[in-house]
Amino acid sequence: MNPRDDFATWLIPERVDKPELLDLGVSSTAMRANLSDLWRINHYFGGLQALTDHLYPRLLAADRPVTVVDIGTGAADIPAAIARWAEGHKLDVRIIALDVAASHLALAREKISDLSGIHLVQADATCLPFGREEVDFFFSSLFFHHLMPEQIVALLGSAFACSRRGLIISDLRRGRLPLMGFKLIEPFFSPITRHDGEVSIRRAYTPAEFGEFAQAAGLTNAQVYRHWPWRMTLVAQK
């Protein structure tokens, strides 16, 4: 094998699907610390921008009130950021923040108490509570790596069918370089984040794999974008 091919293979190890502590259940204090860390990671390390670079122009171009759904919202920090942005641009955007965990939504309720236009819904993402073309856009950040490939294909197909305009799905990219980068910053985070951060990178997917999932779900007009430092965003528009 070409040494260059060996190096490329080394850079992207096999996916390891190992549960994260947050998924298994942790104390309220640990959960709050972890979700706070996730917001800082999204805010300062490109996660929010990887999503909003694609979402905001589409919201600005909309010619009527828009409904968007955040799949796996956690503490609803991203919906809160979008709501404040929409208010600043005088846009009529209704945001549905969806999560299966009641504890996450309880924290989200505290964080969005001063905001209007955000509606919290407890539901399983693998069984979306929406009808065909009921929502303009579905979006998600740091959620899809929790799913197995067949679940991703099913969810992409379901969400696309329920959307009028499309999907914007952002997540980590699997690789050794992201793991090395996370090692540098993990001392600044809580113990659960240090553990789950590494697990998340190991169980994440690659842009090529995400493209294959979109194709398998029948999303013919889909593209996967790479974002600095180690994010990717799948955009599928009708």
Query: pLDDT tens-digit profile of 101-148?
Result: 999 999 999 999 999 899 999 999 999 999 999 999 999 999 999 999
Say what the pLDDT of residue 63 is: 85
Token pair of 151, please?
């679940």
Measured between alpha carbons, how far is 50 from 193 in angstroms, rounded to an integer? 21
Q: Give CA 68 to chain center in angstroms.
A: 14
Does pLDDT of 157 surpass 80? yes
More confident residue, 84 or 64: 84
Does pLDDT of 77 surpass 60? yes
Domains of the chain: 20-237 (3.40.50.150)
Residue with the two structure tokens 């952002």: 170
Say what the pLDDT of residue 9 is: 72
Does pLDDT of 1 surpass 80? no
**Which residues touch 125 (CB under 8 Å, ≥6 apart)?**
71, 72, 98, 100, 143, 155
Confidence of residue 2 (pLDDT cuts 50, 70, 90): low
Q: What is the pTM of this model?
A: 0.94
Measured between alpha carbons, how far is 179 from 202 in angstroms, rounded to an integer? 8
Say what the pLDDT of residue 44 is: 93
Check: CB of residue 69 under 8 Å from CB of residue 138.
Answer: yes
Cis status, amide bond into 229, omega within 30 of 0: yes
